[in-house]
Amino acid sequence: MYRLIAVDLDGTLLMPGHRLSARTRTAVTSLIERGVHVVVATGRPFEIARSFCPGIPFVAPQISYNGAVVYDPVADRAISRTLAPAGFVPAVIDFLLTAGIPVVACGVDRVYLDERISNPEDWVPPSAEPGHFLRDMRAAPADGIIKIVGDSDAATITRLRPLAETQFGDSLYVTQTSPNLLEFLNPAASKGAALRHIAGTLGIPRREILVFGDSHNDLTMFAAAGFSVAMGNASEEVKGAAGRVTLSNERDGVAVALEEMGLVRRYEDNGLSHVV
């Protein structure tokens, strides 16, 4: 029996376009109503993640900013926050800018955005101050930063990740959160570390933890779980580390796996809209 289920958000729980299907919503809600601790583990702020999941009554602590923040959805506040080491923030920003990549620096109260970033609404939580656009991201503060992100095309990010790991891997957690995002965080922060912390707080052993994911940043969760499921759209790196591969996020892979594993009842449409 799995008492704690952690699910990545983009590319896993959500369909393309940040859409939540009725089938997936029904499956996740039924787990929560039966007392299973369901944790959304995402690189996004929890406020944005929650807005993509209407109708899901989150209760358990949630993992945001790739594990740098653990969030209490009931009290609506951060339980813990792990900041990036201030001494490395300027060097990371310079590394990304030198590579010609737009940069985002996510702070505790404000998000600093490269003027070249085209989707600021994806980065700024509703309760935060408006995003602060900078012509030169080297002017961003080094203190109070949760993570630094480089946003580019998939080929560029794939090429840069090993270079970033070589240069910063001994001092920072470097991870590829999607094909186009390269992120730098405190070395103590990861989805896996946050998941282990939550499980310890709830008194849940590793064998009773199930996780779903599709990207490099989900691998630390796979290592912390009793069983892991990769999405059909996951990278080969992630599929190779998983205990099972389900359908893609476009085909309700999370819900299908939960049904096939006997953890939720098989979904019946009953005329309901497929996407909410």
pLDDT of amino acid 274: 42
H helix count then E strand count, the chain: 8, 14
Over residues 58-105, the pLDDT tens digits come to 999 999 999 999 999 999 999 999 999 999 999 999 999 999 999 999
- What's the Rg (C-alpha) of the chain? 18
Domain containing 130: what range? 86-185
43 and 112 share one domain: no
Over residues 135-160, the pLDDT tens digits come to 999 999 999 999 999 999 999 999 99
Q: What is the CATH number of the domain that holds 22?
A: 3.40.50.1000
172 and 207 share one domain: no
pLDDT of amino acid 269: 62
When pLDDT is cut at 50, 70 and 90, the band that residue 162 belongs to is very high
CB-based contact 191:67 (threshold 8 Å): yes
170 and 150 share one domain: yes
CB-based contact 157:93 (threshold 8 Å): no
Number of structural domains, the chain?
A: 2
Over residues 14-34, the pLDDT tens digits come to 999 999 999 999 999 999 999
CA proximity to 235, closest of 185, 165, 160, 177 = 177
Strand 103-107 to 111-114 pairing: antiparallel
pTM for this structure? 0.92
CB-based contact 4:202 (threshold 8 Å): yes
Query: In this structure, is residue 26 part of a structural domain?
Result: yes
When pLDDT is cut at 50, 70 and 90, the band that residue 273 belongs to is very low
Q: With a cut of 90, say whether residue 270 has pLDDT above it.
A: no
Query: In this structure, is residue 268 part of a structural domain?
Result: no
Q: With a cut of 50, say whether residue 276 has pLDDT above it.
A: no
Mean pLDDT of the chain: 94
Q: With a cut of 50, say whether residue 271 has pLDDT above it.
A: no
105 and 181 share one domain: yes
Query: In this structure, is residue 276 part of a structural domain?
Result: no
Counting residues of the chain whose pLDDT is more than 70, the rounded percentage is 96
Q: How far does the chain reach from its first CA to its final CA, in angstroms? A: 29
